[in-house]
Structure 1
Amino acid sequence: MAEIKPMIHKYCQNGTYMLLDVNSGIINVIDKMTYDVLDVYDGTNKDAVYQAFAGTYDKKDLDETLGELDELIEKEMLFAPMTENFKVVAEEEPVIKSLCLNIAHDCNLRCQYCFASQGDYDTHKRELMSFDVAKHAVDLLIKSTEGKRQHCEIDFFGGEPLMNFGVVKQTIEYIREQEKIHDKVFKLSLTTNGMLLDPAKVKYLTDNHISLILSLDGRPEVHDRMRPDAGGHGSYKTCADNQVYAAKHRNGEEYYVRGTYTKYNLDFTKDVEHMADLGFEGLSMEPVVGDDLSYAFIHAFQVEIGQAVVFFINAGQVVIGDGIGQVKRMDEGRPFIYYHFIMDLYRGPCIAKRLRGCGAGHEYMCVVPNGDIYPCHQFVGQDDYVIGNVYDGVTNTELPPLFRDMHVLNKPICCDCWAKFFCSGGCHANNIKYGSNIQTPYELSCKIQKKRIECAMYIQAVLAMRGQKARLFGDPEENCEGCGACE
């Protein structure tokens, strides 16, 4: 495990000077003098500061700035050492706490960029999960967490899970029974394109407290270009109409709309604006990942930081400015949440999340219709990554520890990166496919993540200075996912 040294990251956005202390996760808005001084000052070399800025700043002002920095250093809010708690978390044994149930290896859309090959995961076999497999998956999760964690999570995934809604309902009802028997708290979610999301299903999912992840790519022409139905027709109208209905009838239950942007809509801030105008209160946009040069970035935008990242810079400006601005909409009484810009200004995510991120392969796993278990849905169909089966349990004893050890302290590139405790080393599957191995982060993803983080810190800081945060971003305690990592 690498030694993590004190580190800071500073940058300027829209004339606001931002400072992140990497190890503590604490963010400050600073003035131009402090920004400049930190090019030189490391907490021990005041004489070097006086010499470097003798003709630029008054010594009295430099003294005041250095005094403020020394106070932050003394409180371990600047150039902070690495907490020993990271070592404790890093050495914990793997415990499965979350499952993705690929309840349907079939789909009613034929999205061009689909990593699941339009639902069948390159198996050329469309199939639905039986209730018996789903039941055994639930039992495996309960057994894994017995006496260790109270909180568990299951996401109904696909393909399109609503194509197997009967088994979804059976599984939900079984989970609610088992919660009482085993003193568990299950957080359940369902990811859907919305094509089959009729009022009856909306009511059932809402009444049973199932969080919804809804897939929509934004403007009609953008969505229909990449997401035709099985007959090759545009799917926007059905998807959008059903999702708008669902959002209006959630009765306070969680949901958000997730879009994918390609090289065809690098102006995706317009898609965010479009979806916000539809009335959706929670939104995110993810960059497409793939080798197909007709839509992907991976080879087409490797010069400098790439156009995708340029538009994240624009997003950071527009969200605050006069366009789709979150602050502007808040003032008008119609706020929305853009999830990539949610960030706790004080110390960031919990230790476990900062170290490992999603937990794929050791805390989070994916079950497919035949009962096989994979590290996550991105690995489905790759025989080398089968971890076990719901009937036999986890039988591959090498992969879970491997994934468990792939935290940021064991990734050389990540150790020297200021963003490591917010991205947690990136997606394992993308690292393997595009970074050549699990320890090497996917470069383009890193660049996009860094700009997301900078935009998020900037927006949060502006809101904090205005005294506005609660409706849009919540308090740190409210942002806790109840994952049980602290149990």
Structure 2
Amino acid sequence: MIHQYRLNGYNIVLDVNSGSVHSVDDVAYDIIQLFCDGEISREEIASRMLEKYGESQGLTRGDIEEVFGDIDKLREEGRLFTEDLYEPCAFDLKNHHTELKALCLHVAHTCNLSCSYCFAAQGRFHGERGLMSLETGKRALDFLVENSGDRVNLEVDFFGGEPLMNWDVVKGIVEYGRSIEKEHGKNFRFTLTTNGVGINDEVIEFSNREMHNVVLSLDGRKEVHDRLRKTVDGRGSYDLIVPKFRKFVEARGGRNYYMRGTFTHANTDFTNDIFHMADLGFDQLSMEPVVCSPEDPAALTEEDLPVLFQQYELLAEEMLRREREGHPITFYHYMIDLSGGPCIYKRISGCGSGTEYLAVTPWGDLYPCHQFVGEEQFCMGDIWQGITAPDIQEEFRSCNVYAREECRDCWARLYCSGGCAANAWHAAGSVRGVYEYGCRLFRKRVECAIMMKVAEAYGEENENQ
């Protein structure tokens, strides 16, 4: 399968199955497209190219034969028109990886903000409020160790609600993890996701010592952030949290953090929010499209898509400019490794929700991931008895990119790995479905990310000349 597109002055050809990316001239781009379109003879292709480019660009039959030769060589090298070798082994690969590697600990089902678009219903996850006890948190780490096999690096995310509302338990869980990791030959990587309201000097010092990563929630410009991210008494939270975030990131030395925002129908010009955060001094950025009911005023619409596509392109071009000027920023969705990247197992099987990754409620119940918490039909068991609903786990284990019919003909399938099971379930009623709106945004982001890599490669070539 071949995917071709033009962006920012580059003609880009992606060989889907090998992952090879080619930046080509107009003639090669058109010839490759004609090869893809059907059984057209080389003689007919040559005639069409001479008619289109012969007079205007001085193209000769010899030039066309040279392009044919380049294409043939790339095909022989397995870098163009390659076959899909992965589908026959997709389900086997998934079954070979059954060890647990990560937990999302819901240490607080309560929150000190009242964000109207919150998928977790202001931290309650459609249930009662509650805080995880230290005993439950310790047992969760024991459960992770017991089910991790020979994995060494284990990931634990402190989540909510707002985890800082149960800060003493967070510290206690980390301290317990550090006390047991050596005897079990494990290394805990802790992550904290916070809205920032409860940040103080102690939180900063402890997190910068113990947290492998921190995720800080900020939607961008003050008017955008304050529109939906309000305190429980209805005030905007921007002025409260931004000084704390700046102090946190500065003390952290700019390492291993993300500013995570959400854009909605009200701010489809979300690049202005990204650049605003960059101008505040934050350079590790993520901006996610809201996922909510279509009836919600915040919901993205079909009419928003062209604007959003343009915004993603604008962001990529601005990031390239800032990089050239020595002020780079990182955007989570544009982080792509064309020379290595995730192994083929990850590309096929996705995030591992329900199998390698589980969420734990304050009461110790297990769910496939944080976005399924509160959906009782997805409760898989608890941290004391283990998995007591193996049928749910099996459903997620069989869920890979080839299990979704819509993904089979998608050029981006080995980049998204089938997408988010929770978004699919909410949109299509099945974890094997797809959230088509999200797919369209994802494909645009991947096109932009690949274009940036092409542009960077051309920049390096020019510097070396």
**TM-score, structure 1 as length reference:** 0.89
Kept in 2: contact 1:210–1:253 (CA 8 A): no
Indicate the SS of the match to 1:452.
helix
Write the letter of the residue equivalent to 2:244.
N
Counterpart amino acid of 1:62? Answer: I
CA displacement at 1:160 relative to structure 2:
0.3
Q: What one-letter code is carried by the residue in structure 1 that aligns with 2:438?
A: S
Deviates more, 1:72-81 or 1:254-263: 72-81
**1:438 paired residue number:** 431
Between 154-163 and 243-252, report the one with greater CA deviation. 243-252
Instruction: Tell me the percent identity.
Output: 40
- In structure 2, relative to structure 1, the CA distance for the partners of 1:140 and 1:293 (3 Å cut) is same
- Deviation at residue 15 of structure 1 after TM alignment: 2.2
1:419 aligns with 2:422: no
1:291 maps onto 2:293 in alignment: yes
From 363, 369, 377, the counterpart of 1:370: 363
Report the AA paired with residue 94 of structure 2. Answer: A
Deviation digits for residues 138-192 of structure 1, max 9, x if unmatched?
111111113x311211100000001001010011111112211111122210100
Conserved? CA contact 1:387–1:394, under 8 Å: yes
Whether the 8 Å CA contact 1:195–1:239 is kept in 2: the answer is yes
Look up the match of 1:195: 197
Q: 1:401 to 1:309 in 2, by over 3 A?
A: farther
User: Which residue does 2:176 correspond to in 1?
Assistant: 174
Specify the code of the residue in structure 1 equivalent to 2:259.
V
Partner of 1:395: 388
- Please give the secondary structure, in 2, of the residue aligned with 1:440: coil
Q: In the alignment, residue 333 of structure 2 is paired with which amino acid?
A: H
Q: 1:316 aligns with which of 302, 313, 330?
A: 313
Contact 1:309 1:447 in 2 (8 A): no
Task: Choose from 30, 46, 64 the match for 1:50.
Answer: 46
In terms of mean alpha carbon deviation, does 15-24 or 158-167 score higher?
15-24
Preserved contact between residue 407 and residue 425 of structure 1 (Cα < 8 Å): yes
Q: Distance in 2 between matches of 1:292 and 1:410?
A: 26
Shift of 1:88: 4.7
Q: Distance in 2 between matches of 1:48 and 1:446?
A: 36
Structure 2 residue runs without a partner (length 5+)? 54-59
Pick aligned residue for 1:23 from 17, 29, 38: 17
**TM-aligned CA deviation for residue 48 of structure 1:** 4.3
8 Å contact from structure 1 (residues 41, 48) kept in 2? no
Q: Provide the residue aligned with 1:111 in structure 2.
A: 115
Q: Secondary structure at the match of 1:283?
A: strand
Range that drifts further, 288-297 or 333-342 = 288-297
Residues 92 and 199 of structure 1, relative CA distance in 2, 3 Å threshold: same
Residue number among 436, 450, 454 corresponding to 1:461 in the alignment:
454
Q: Is the 8 A contact 1:435 1:443 kept in 2?
A: no
Asked if structure 1 preserves the Cα contact closer than 8 Å seen for 2:91 and 2:400, the reply is no
Distance 2:171 2:340 in 1: 40
Matched, 1:127 2:140: no
Change beyond 3 A, Cα 1:383–1:88: closer
| Contact 2:367-2:378 at 8 Å conserved across structures | yes
For 1:173, the aligned partner's letter is E
Secondary structure at the counterpart of residue 359 of structure 2: strand
Answer with 74-83 or 113-122: which moved more: 74-83
On the 8 A contact 1:94/1:401 being kept in 2, the answer is no
Structure 1 window deviating more from structure 2 (12-21 vs 267-276): it is: 12-21
Look up the match of 1:474. none
CA distance in 2 between counterparts of 1:183 and 1:92 reads: 22
Deviation, 1:252, is 5.3
Give the secondary-structure state (helix, strand or coil) at the position aligned to 2:34.
coil
Tell me the equivalent position of 2:206: 204
Match of 1:121, SS state, is: coil
SS in 2 for 1:194: coil
| Paired AA for residue 49 in structure 1 | I
Structure 1 residue aligned with 2:224: 222
Counterpart amino acid of 2:279? Answer: D
Structure 1 SS opposite 2:122: helix
Amino acid corresponding to residue 164 of structure 1 in structure 2: N
> CA-to-partner distance for each residue in 1:20-56, whole Å, 9 max, x for gaps?
1111112121111111111221598534422443422
Structural RMSD (CA): 1.8
Q: For residues 9 and 324 of structure 2, what CA distance do their matches in structure 1 show? A: 22
What's the counterpart of residue 233 of structure 1?
235
Please state how far the C-alpha of 1:330 moved relative to its aligned partner.
2.4
Once residues 347 and 204 of structure 1 are traced to their aligned partners in structure 2, the CA distance between those partners, rounded to angstroms, is: 34
Query: Larger relative contact order (C-alpha < 8 A, sep ≥ 6)?
Result: 1
**Map of 1:236-385 to 2, 5 A cutoff?**
236-251=238-253, 253-291=255-293, 293-297=295-299, 301-302=301-302, 306-308=303-305, 310-320=307-317, 325-346=318-339, 348-385=341-378
Contact conserved, 1:40 with 1:48, CA < 8 A, in 2?
Answer: no
Secondary structure of 1:214's partner?
A: strand
Q: Distance in 2 between matches of 1:48 and 1:351?
A: 38
Name the structure with the higher helix share: 2
Q: Secondary structure at the match of 1:467?
A: helix
Look up the match of 2:57: none
Secondary structure of the 1:39 match is helix
Name the counterpart of 1:404.
397
Q: What is the CA-CA distance between 1:309 and the residue it aligns to? A: 5.1
Find the aligned partners of 2:91 and 2:406 in 1 and give their Cα distance.
19
When normalised by structure 2's length, the TM-score is 0.93
CA contact (8 A) 2:91 2:398 kept: no
Q: Are 2:192 and 2:211, in contact at CA under 8 Å, matched by a contact in 1?
A: no
> Letter of the aligned partner of 2:137 in structure 1?
A
Classify the secondary structure of the residue corresponding to 1:377. Answer: coil
Which residue number corresponds to residue 94 of structure 2? Answer: 90
How many residue pairs get matched?
451
For residue 95 of structure 1, report the CA deviation from its aligned partner.
2.0
Q: Which range moved further: 191-200 or 42-51?
A: 42-51
Rounded to whole Å, the distance in 2 between the matches of 1:352 and 1:232 is 46
- Pick closer, same or farther for the CA change 1:241–1:252 going to 2, 3 Å: closer
Q: Distance in 2 between matches of 1:332 and 1:453?
A: 24
Q: Do the aligned partners of 2:140 and 2:360 also contact (CA within 8 Å) in 1? A: yes
Distance in 1 (CA, whole Å) between partners of 2:167 and 2:365 is 21
- Corresponding residue of 1:482: none
C-alpha change, 1:309 and 1:141, in structure 2 (3 Å) is farther
The Cα offsets for residues 207-241 of structure 1, whole Å up to 9 and x where unpaired, read as 12431000000000000001000111010011211
Say which of 21, 34, 39 aligns to 1:40: 34
Q: Contact 1:379–1:429 (CA<8 Å) still a contact in 2?
A: yes
Over residues 38-86 of structure 1, what are the superposed CA-to-partner deviations in whole Å (9 max), with x where a residue is unaligned?
1221598534422443422432121111111111111111112234565
